[in-house]
């Protein structure tokens, strides 16, 4: 295992001022996104859309890495047929790959899921390394509801994340460890906090059991927020305070950074919450706080594009601006007035 390479790449992924673009939507998920703008989800259209994101001029100022889907890692730029992994590397952006096979129902545990994909992962990681991937992502989902999550659900997902992380590091690939406590539900921010803390604590216990090199990994956690249907929605400062409190209680200092998922938050909320954490707490943290957003980086660009080639410049402008705003949030210098100026 190349400890130095893992540490160097992990540190680059969470460098201050930069974040990770999650462009790893599966083909079915990408189809749903395209349906929302009335575009057919063909291989060419998916290639075209990813191409417009990756070839956005100067996007590397704000993006340190891109999580790709299996299909996307095998695609190329439309202009000169350069493999996406090689093109991203030429811009100083690290290519990554989603390797889990999705969350499936957990046997004997109604309403809960476990992420699959460990079988054959060692061989897949070796292939992905040859194709240029230098980090990977595995997402576990924890649902809050009546009498859930159970200890069993948290345990099996933490164990799978740790086994995945070990296989990644063996292959010279930085693992993004993503335990997501879902926003779905009417639970309070207090409940989200307690479940998130319990989940993260179990994840790091399992990572320790599997001898994971913490300096060579990145945590992709949810923020501590109110459930989507909760009658009281916590404000920006409370979300920032509770999230940082939860991370301080669970994340070892050796971890180089936490790259948050947006988890269904609006573009503006995801940026504002990250900004408040860094503006208020960055001086007291052992690790950097940055972003690994999908929809919160892409939504405005997807809408602006609408499947029309003539709209690509406008879509790239929209993507660039969202990446810039989130870059500012990593240093605590974003303000909501910037959103108004964009209208």
**Hey, which residues are catalytic here?**
178, 220
Q: Is 226 exposed, middle or buried (0-12, 13-18, 19+ CB in 10 A)?
A: buried
What number of CA atoms fall less than 13 Å from residue 162's CA on the CB side? 20
Could you tell me which residues are beta bridge partners of residue 97? 68, 136
Which residues are CB-contacts of 119 (< 8 A; sequence separation ≥ 6)?
none
Torsion angle, CA of 170/174/179/182, rounded to 10 degrees?
Answer: -140
Determine the Cα–Cα distance for residues 77 and 75; give it in Å rounded to an integer.
7
E strands present in the chain: 19-23, 63-68, 94-98, 103-105, 113-115, 135-142, 174-181, 218-219, 257-260, 288-293
Give the three-class secondary structure for 288.
strand
199 close to 30: Cβ distance less than 8 angstroms: no
CA-CA distances (angstroms) from residue 68 to 17, 63, 158, 251? 21, 14, 23, 26
Closest CA to 135 of 214, 216, 62, 205: 216
Residue among 76, 52, 70 at smallest CA distance from 298:
52
Nearest partner of 324 among 121, 101, 60, judged by Cα: 60
Exposure string for 264-285, b = 16+ CB within 10 A, e = fewer: bbebbbbbbbbbbbbbebeeeb
């Amino acid at each position: 295992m190349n400890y130095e390479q893992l540490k160097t790449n992990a540190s680059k992924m969470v460098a201050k001022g930069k974040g990770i673009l999650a462009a790893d939507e599966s083909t079915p998920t990408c189809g749903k996104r395209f349906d929302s703008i009335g575009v057919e989800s063909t291989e060419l259209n998916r290639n075209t859309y990813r191409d417009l994101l990756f070839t956005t001029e100067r996007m590397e100022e704000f993006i340190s890495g891109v999580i790709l889907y299996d299909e996307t890692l095998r695609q190329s730029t439309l202009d000169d047929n350069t493999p996406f992994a090689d093109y991203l590397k030429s811009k100083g952006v690290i290519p990554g790959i989603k390797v889990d096979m999705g969350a499936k129902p957990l046997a004997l545990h109604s309403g809960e899921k476990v992420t699959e994909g460990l079988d054959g992962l060692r061989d897949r990681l070796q292939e992905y390394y040859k194709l240029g991937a230098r980090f990977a992502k595995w997402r576990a989902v924890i649902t809050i509801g009546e009498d859930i999550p159970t200890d069993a659900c948290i345990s099996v997902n933490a164990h799978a994340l740790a086994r995945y992380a070990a296989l990644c590091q063996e292959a010279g690939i930085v693992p993004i460890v993503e335990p997501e406590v879902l926003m779905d539900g009417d639970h309070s921010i207090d409940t989200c906090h307690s479940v998130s803390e319990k989940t993260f604590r179990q994840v790091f216990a399992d990572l320790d059991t599997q001898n994971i090199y913490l300096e060579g990994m990145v945590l992709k956690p949810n923020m501590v927020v109110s459930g989507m249907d909760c009658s009281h929605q916590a404000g920006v400062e409370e979300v920032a305070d509770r999230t940082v409190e939860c991370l301080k209680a669970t994340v070892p200092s050796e971890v180089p950074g936490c790259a948050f998922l947006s988890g269904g938050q609006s573009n503006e909320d995801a940026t504002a919450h990250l900004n408040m954490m860094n503006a208020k707490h960055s001086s007291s943290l052992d690790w950097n706080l940055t972003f690994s957003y999908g929809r919160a980086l892409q939504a405005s660009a997807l809408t602006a594009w609408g499947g029309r080639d003539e709209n690509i410049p406008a879509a790239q402008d929209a993507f660039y601006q969202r990446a810039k705003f989130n870059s500012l949030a990593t240093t605590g210098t974003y303000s909501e007035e910037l959103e108004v100026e964009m209208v």
